[in-house]
Amino acid sequence: MAARNCLVANDWICWEYVRSRSQELTDATLQHIGITLAAVSIGVAVSVPLALLARRGRRYAAPVLGLSTLLYTVPSLAMFSLLLPVFGLSAATALVVTGLVLYSLTILVRNVLAGLEAVPEEVREAARGMGYGPARLFWQVELPLALPALLAGVRIATVSTVALTTVGSIVGKGGLGNLLAPAVDSSFKAQVLTASVLCVLLALAADLLLLGLQRLLTPWTRVAKGA
């Protein structure tokens, strides 16, 4: 009986809510993860060619970096509203993912560019002297050496995207935001706290996983720090 009273009393911490809404919480969490993964993956795929373009000189860097920074200044609600005429409500997931991709570009493009510019010129010259063409030089020399900066950007973008995904609830594709928004309106404390805690846990888990991936893919950075 005591466990049921927390719902009636509208307590912040209520395990009965978690138990009775477990499927709803699971579905919302999985949607949140799926949208975040899609947005960050597309963001990385788009940011690499943009960073390569920006590296060609100030003529290209100024508009690429300027536009990506400008996009980040647009409030999230306004961004999704501006994209609505393009996608419509029927493509709500694509709308949310596109908005999140645009936000991630500010972080990702700058980090990829910083990583590429940090590659020593003598390393490039040595690779060219060994017969490496532009494509082989990028994939086998520059990109591996730029990985620490790239993955650091992915970590920041992922944590940011986990938070921003909740705004997608305005079109019904906000993952845990679908639970958070109506709970705030109705003052349903257990749902507000549970959805918020799950968002924080998702961000922490994603950051730890990416940190482990970064350490696995860039072992030379640990050796350098140890030295």
pLDDT, one tens digit per residue, over 154-165 is 999 999 999 888
- What is the pLDDT averaged over residues 26-55? 91
Predicted confidence (pLDDT) at residue 32 exceeds the cutoff of 50: yes
Q: What is the pLDDT of residue 227?
A: 47
23-220 classified as CATH 1.10.3720.10: yes
Task: Categorize the per-residue pLDDT at 1 as very low, low, confident or very high, splitting at 50, 70 and 90.
Answer: very low
Q: Which tokens in the block code for residue 48? A: 């690499």
Contacts of 46 (CB under 8 A, 6+ apart): 101, 105, 108
Q: What is the pLDDT of residue 33?
A: 93
pLDDT, one tens digit per residue, over 90-141 is 678 788 888 888 888 989 999 998 888 888 888 888 888 888 888 888 888 8
Spatial distance between the Cα atoms of 126 and 170, rounded to a whole number of angstroms: 53
Predicted confidence (pLDDT) at residue 225 exceeds the cutoff of 70: no
Predicted confidence (pLDDT) at residue 50 exceeds the cutoff of 80: yes
Contact 108, 43 (CB under 8 A): yes
Q: What is the pLDDT of residue 4?
A: 52
Q: What is the pLDDT of residue 79?
A: 82
- What is the pLDDT averaged over residues 149-173? 88
Q: What is the pLDDT of residue 30?
A: 93
Predicted confidence (pLDDT) at residue 2 exceeds the cutoff of 60: no
Percent of the chain with pLDDT over 70: 94
Spatial distance between the Cα atoms of 115 and 133, rounded to a whole number of angstroms: 20
Q: What is the pLDDT of residue 3?
A: 46
Q: Where are the domains positioned within the chain?
A: 23-220
Spatial distance between the Cα atoms of 95 and 87, rounded to a whole number of angstroms: 6
Task: Categorize the per-residue pLDDT at 41 as very low, low, confident or very high, splitting at 50, 70 and 90.
Answer: very high
pLDDT, one tens digit per residue, over 51-81 is 888 888 778 888 888 888 888 888 877 888 8
